Amino acid sequence: MVTPNKQGSSLAMDLANQTEASGGESCAEQDRIGAPSLPNTRSKRFWALLGILILATVLLRMPGFFVEVFNSDETFLATQAEVINEGGRLYEEATDRKPPLVPYLYAGVFAVTGTTALWSVRLLAMAAVVLTAMLLAAEARRRYGEYAAWTAGLLFVFASVAFAPQDGQAANFEIFMLPPMTAAVLLAARRRMFAAGVAIAIATLAKQTGAATLLPVIYLAWQATEDDAISCGRTRQIAEALAGFALPLAVVALLIDPGDLLFWAVLGNGSYLGIGSASLYVLGLFAVMTLAFLACNLPIAWTLPRAWKERRQYPETVLWLWLASAAVSVAVGFRFFGHYYLQLLPPLVLLCTGVLARSPWKTLRTTVAAAALIAVGFSVLGYVARPWGDEPRYEEVSDYLDEHAAVDDRIFVWGHMPEIYWKSGKRPASRFLSSGFLLGDWGSRPEGDLSTDIPTPGAWEMFMADMANHPPLYILDTAPAGFRGSEYYPIAQFPELKAIVDERYKYVRTIDGIFIYKRQPLPLDG
């Protein structure tokens, strides 16, 4: 075994040099150097590492069993999952600006466990964290030695919760994107290019930014030699990666609907990704969120300057490209939500592990201990902390709907409070679970700044068709409650919706500031 001393430094340098220079070797030599060095499943060390990572992950994410909701994304996904399990079609009866994988993961967990409580899907998120940690451990072992496997695995588990609980504890898109994204780079480093492409496709089906991992994967493919006798040339390697990437996307598009998938996952995102709303506020938000992330993850971030300074002596080009692709993914759309930063963790952890592998033993122990201490602090915070701003009060209004509406009655919530759909168990009348699609209000912008709003193209036409096809029994107006900026968008400002409420609905009561309207029977002819 290798300890982080001079011997470890030498081995780390040798392995790094081998990795960077492998493009000039034969295919046989490449396979020898890049052969999977995954932990031996019969080895006690493998099971010991796996057991420790599972234990650490469960303990640090224990708040997930006690906190009902960490952020609205969880209930947004949960509502989509409920619609899927009731026979509804994604994008037609419940939509989002995301690919379909995570809603179907939620639906599968709900179907298997028989509950829509979010602790159930958080168990799957824990499994995703452990899997990512084990993959990073495998790559760290290949690059730096046995001790590095423990370092990388533990640092990732600690860093995955080291942020505000609504970002670090939630079962969000990024947490499910990380395992296939990480697997893609590991497979490419081992010259399994088609499999690497498939892994990137799976990551992309969790969240679009997973596609950015093509950058380090194509770099690794480019390192392949062109003139080898058994054809492991650059062109073939790149073609294999791209084919592996395209095939799963094509299959899923055919299963879902190519037009729907293309619009909601790609073309319809223009209103969300538009850079016209960039401003000093956005730059300030970027600075605050980035500095906060670096502060929370200082045990892995402090090594970054040293890794960069020593990049010629210990070349890690693929890790830097991976980190760059993840950084671009965080910045896309200039929104800078905290959970976006999770995709920085895998390359950061490996770069940090490389530095620690050639550092004194005391430095390694201090760094890991500091990461563990910070993680425990944020885990404890998860029991008591709530999202920034006023927490939406959705329980009482959901109980009212559960009592006064039948199982098959539909509701519509004006504003952004998908918690009501999820908690009440009532099916949404419109595919739009948030009025953001209609308004172009996507968050991470100054409250009340309506100039940055860009509605989704065609959203109002789709909304009016939904309301005609599935008229809700209740309309819930959250604007008077002022949750999540809803006070800036009163129904009275939107004539089409106001006409529906005025003509067919009657105000019945207010609960926690939310106005409740009930549909009235049509008058008899004559």
Q: pLDDT, tens digit, for every residue of 332-390?
A: 877 788 899 999 999 999 999 999 999 999 999 999 999 999 999 999 999 987 655 55
Which carries the bigger pLDDT value, residue 128 or residue 8? Answer: 128
What single-letter DSSP state applies at residue 41? T
- Max avg pLDDT among 230-234, 275-279, 421-425: 421-425
Q: Identify whether residues 245 and 310 lie together within a single domain.
A: yes
Q: Are 8 and 113 in contact (CB under 8 A)?
A: no
* Per-residue confidence band for 279, with pLDDT thresholds at 50, 70 and 90: low
| Burial environment of residue 476 by CB neighbours within 10 A (0 to 12, 13 to 18, 19 or more) | buried
pLDDT tens string 448-458: 566 566 788 89
| Measured distance CA(485)–CA(416) in Å, rounded | 9
Q: Are 180 and 109 in contact (CB under 8 A)?
A: no
Q: Identify whether residues 498 and 354 lie together within a single domain.
A: no
Last residue of a domain, one of 384, 409, 425: 384
* Strands across the sheet containing 474-477: 427-428, 410-414, 474-477, 514-519, 505-511
Q: Identify whether residues 246 and 97 lie together within a single domain.
A: yes
Q: Identify whether residues 340 and 410 lie together within a single domain.
A: no
Q: Identify whether residues 160 and 11 lie together within a single domain.
A: yes
pTM of the model: 0.88
Which carries the bigger pLDDT value, residue 6 or residue 282? Answer: 282
Structural domain includes residue 389: no
Q: Identify whether residues 403 and 336 lie together within a single domain.
A: no
Q: Which domain holds residue 435?
A: 395-519
Domains of the chain: total: 2
| Measured distance CA(29)–CA(22) in Å, rounded | 8
Structural domain includes residue 155: yes
Q: Identify whether residues 368 and 411 lie together within a single domain.
A: no
Q: Is the pLDDT of residue 3 over 60?
A: no
Q: Identify whether residues 378 and 466 lie together within a single domain.
A: no
Sequence-ordered list of residues with C-beta below 8 angstroms from that of 325, at least 6 positions apart, any chain: 212, 213, 214, 215, 216
Q: Identify whether residues 377 and 252 lie together within a single domain.
A: yes
